Structure 1
């Protein structure tokens, strides 16, 4: 059987979710796939779980490497892949059984498409507990400039990965998929969303995305804006509007905090300490 799709599953400290993710791969009604499990130097039992799945079905492959981050792990897996199409899948997320059946033909039938994605369900603990449904829109890079509305788990042509030199391994704090989509689509490639819920994104209290949103949004945006400055300069007025919107939003949030009862109480409690601090400085 020929391999049309290479599913790349990086795993780092996610061994406890890996079984469910790989089961969703095995359950695919479309069969012409290989699944490369990339152990990104994970300190847990990723290796033993991966090897069990390789024994269950020969379409599962295992690659072990030193820890290098998500971009590095994806690139390593894609580097040994055989498929014409690539599907990244994080070790804690799940695919609907018809994911490949419905998405692969979109790329086969439309040579102008680089990427095809779908609607997504966000869940907690199990897929019966859906907390959010995402219905993204867009076909060109213009819809991706200021916000990534396409999931990292989207099907794309391997030659697009080759054209842009893979995922940017300098981006170790998230948003690497956003930058990757921009790099591809700014070359003129288009993408499409199949209007069916075929992907399940696990929402957890601690994840790489939560860490990124809490601590690295601004630095990641700056990196992407600078790396692809030519397209942001083309959209100069819109880019300025967006940046000033963010500034205004920040100030509004800051003023709201200062007017809150909690802030006023904390300010009163802290006042004696500030007085003592000033006296100590004068001495």
Structure 2
């Protein structure tokens, strides 16, 4: 199985780490890959860093877009990808040299697989194993145990219309895994460390405060209410999981989130998108 794997690297203010990420791509024992770096309107020297990699290996590509967040950047990169398989990689993280080789080998022997990931370790400010909960669909309703850098087929990305760009405050990976897995499909975790997650003083996840996490959780609970109820059994248990014990008078601070989630799920368009087009 020699399928093309498209590695998508969105970059916003991460130029200082980009060399390490791209070196980990170049070190892959699997050779049939392309790597698309998406400059998400970054004000730093991302373009200068990427230029030397373009000269070093023709499998690297560079795209620029106006800043729109990580979901938008990943979607933009994947829309230009030619690979049958997709592997997202944040610009400040790294992958092990055998990750793609091992992942594609697993896909070869099980056509029911939708996602392949691996064991992971921290590096940077904090080091050591990242002890994630074993995958099950029910546990996925409670928390996300699959980091962004997992292998999946591009056709599954197409079926769910990509990463949800309404997830502007984070946890977009969790929402994406729910989207492609809730109606079936297997997940496999490689029993080897092939992903390295950089920890630093300021990260996108650390910048998420309680209120923004609540907004994203509530948005997900509306969009995937069928999934959460099926897996958790009741609204009460769902509310406990996403910490919505308070009255929903604020309800995402705007009814726009509720309306948009409903329209996207049942009618296939985004109110936010239509509003932007009209403007």
TM range (shorter): 0.7 to 0.9
**Are the structure 2 counterparts of residues 120 and 236 from structure 1 closer, same or farther at C-alpha, using a change threshold of 3 Å?**
closer
In the other structure, the counterpart of 2:227 is: 231
Q: How does 1:246-257 map to 2 (within 5 A)?
A: none
Which residue is 1:256 aligned to? Answer: none
Checking the alignment, whether the CA contact within 8 Å between 1:3 and 1:34 is kept in structure 2 is: no
Q: Assess, with a 3 A threshold, how the Cα gap between structure 1 residues 198 and 238 changes in structure 2: closer, same or farther.
A: farther
1:176-255 paired onto structure 2 within 5 Å: 176-212=172-208, 214-235=210-231, 237=233, 240-241=236-237, 243-244=239-240
Q: CA 1:216–1:114 in 2, change beyond 3 Å: closer, same or farther?
A: same
Following superposition, the deviation at residue 146 of structure 1 comes to 1.4
Q: Matched residues in 1 for 2:16 and 2:5: separation?
A: 25
For the residue of structure 2 that corresponds to 1:211, the secondary structure is coil
- TM-score normalised by structure 1 residue count: 0.81
**Greater share of helix residues, 1 or 2?**
1
Structure 1 range deviating more: 211-220 or 190-199:
211-220
**Alpha-carbon offset, residue 247 of structure 1:** 5.6
Question: How far is 1:237 from its partner?
Answer: 3.7
Q: Residue 130 of structure 1: CA displacement? A: 1.9
Paired residue for 1:262? none
Residue number in structure 1 paired with 2:158: 162
- How many residue pairs match? The answer is 245
TM-score (norm 2): 0.82
Q: Of residues 120, 130, 150 in structure 1, which corresponds to 2:146?
A: 150
Instruction: Give the corresponding residue for 1:281.
Output: none
Aligned to 1:174: 170
Tell me if structure 2 keeps the 8 A contact 1:119–1:136: no
Q: Does 1:48 find its partner at 2:48?
A: yes
Task: Please list, as runs of the form range in 1=range in 2, the aligned pairs for 1:50-199 lying within 5 A after superposition.
Answer: 50-124=50-124, 130-139=127-136, 141-199=137-195
Deviations 1:3-23 (A, max 9, x none): 610000000000000000000
2:3 paired with 1:6: no
- Mapped to 2, the partners of 1:159 and 1:63 lie a distance apart of 22
Shift of the 82–246 alpha-carbon distance from structure 1 to 2, 3 Å rule, reads closer
- Superposed displacement of residue 243, structure 1: 3.3
Does the 8 A contact of 1:136 with 1:193 survive in 2?
no
Map Cα deviations across residues 159-179 of structure 1 (whole Å, 9 max, x no partner): 100000000011111011100
CA contact (8 A) 1:3 1:82 kept: no
User: Rg larger in 1 or in 2?
Assistant: 1
Q: What runs of 5+ residues in structure 1 fail to find an aligned partner?
A: 251-283
SS of the residue 1:156 aligns to: strand
Task: Name the structure 1 match of 2:27.
Answer: 27
Q: The residue matched to 2:68 in structure 1 has which SS?
A: coil
Deviation at 1:132, TM superposition (A): 3.8
Residues 193 and 73 of structure 1: is their aligned pair in 2 closer, same or farther, counting only changes over 3 Å? Answer: same
- Distance change in 2, residues 1:98/1:239 (3 Å): farther
**Shift in Å at residue 107 of structure 1?**
1.5
CA offsets 1:78-102 (integer angstroms, 9 cap, x no match): 0010110000000000011111111
CA distance, structure 1, for counterparts of residue 109 and residue 58 of structure 2: 29
Question: Displacement of 1:123 after TM fit?
Answer: 1.5
Counterpart contact for 2:239–2:245, Cα < 8 Å: no
